[in-house]
Amino acid sequence: MKRDQQSECGVCGSSSERLLLHNVRHRGTYRRLCSNCVLKTHQGLFCPICLQVYDPSPPPPNARRICAKCPSIIHSSCSSSSSSSAIAAAAAAAAATSSSSFICPPCSNPNFTFYNVNNKKPKVNGDTTAPARVSNNDVNEILVDVGSAKALVAAAKIAALSMSKAAAVARVEAERRVKEAALAKKRAREALERLLNLAAEEKKGKLARVDGNNGGPKNSNGFTLGN
């Protein structure tokens, strides 16, 4: 049985039963995307290493690096970080390929993903990297690690920004259409008034021609009245 389109990611086709989907406006259309696809289709809006969303603006030029293959913007401090995380490790490996350019983790590894889920039980004993439980419609529970949780938060923020901008665009478009409708109504009314005036003038002209053909206006006895 074919699955409902709304229950799948609009890019990778992942099911909402396993991944949380976000509502976004992407390339002029409204879509539902998983966290990983939200991040991969909105490069430049967040740091792909620390996953900080740039709101309202990215860091200044002297505090950032730009991926050589995509619009991703990375904090300079993140690109040189010695963190042992998977994202930072991928970034370090990418940076090592060139001293003058930087390649973000998704571009350096085609199989890279920001968001991973698993079915393992979360660790206890104060392990901050342990997977966290995420409830999806109170039906299934999925487990995500801290890095994936950060990716989920970043994707949610980007989706919120996207929908806010979409709402603003829709409001401007609605106001424009209201103004256009009012202008069209005004022009239609003016055109109708001109048509009525022309009809009245034409009727008046016909009456004048009829009177002229009959020798001018007549009295009650049928005699033409003189000037």
pLDDT digits (tens, 9 = 90+) for 33-59: 999 999 999 998 999 999 999 988 888
How is residue 6 annotated by DSSP?
G
- For residues 22-30, give the mean pLDDT: 86
pLDDT in tens, 81-122: 644 455 555 555 555 544 457 888 889 888 888 887 765 544
In angstroms, rounded to a whole number, what is the distance separating the alpha carbons of residues 155 and 46? 9
Residue with tokens 């396993």: 18
Q: Give the whole-number percent of the chain exceeding pLDDT 70.
A: 67
Q: Where are the domains of the chain?
A: 5-172
In whole angstroms, what is the distance from residue 46 CA to residue 39 CA? 8
For residue 37 the two structure tokens come to: 């696809």
Torsion from C-alpha of 123, 124, 125, 128, nearest 10 degrees: 70
Report the pLDDT value the prediction gives residue 37, as an integer from 0 to 100. 92
Helices (H), 11-145: 35-40, 76-79, 86-96, 105-108
Instruction: Calculate mean pLDDT across residues 164-179.
Output: 90
- Mean pLDDT, rounded, of the chain: 77
N- to C-terminal Cα distance for the chain? Answer: 94
Quickly state the pLDDT bin for 2 (edges 50, 70, 90): very low
Between these two residues, 80 and 13, which has the higher pLDDT value?
13
Q: Is pLDDT of 202 > 70?
A: yes
Taking CB atoms within 8 Å and a gap of at least 24, the contacts of 104-109 are 104/43, 104/48, 104/49, 104/67, 104/69, 104/70, 104/72, 104/74, 105/48, 105/49, 106/40, 106/43, 106/48, 106/70, 106/72, 107/67, 107/68, 107/69, 107/70, 107/72
Q: What's the alpha-carbon Rg for the chain, to the nearest Å?
A: 35
Is pLDDT at 128 greater than 50 in this prediction? no
CA angle 83, 87, 91 (to 5 degrees): 85
The residue that leads in pLDDT, 22 or 2, is: 22
Indicate the pTM of the whole model. Answer: 0.63
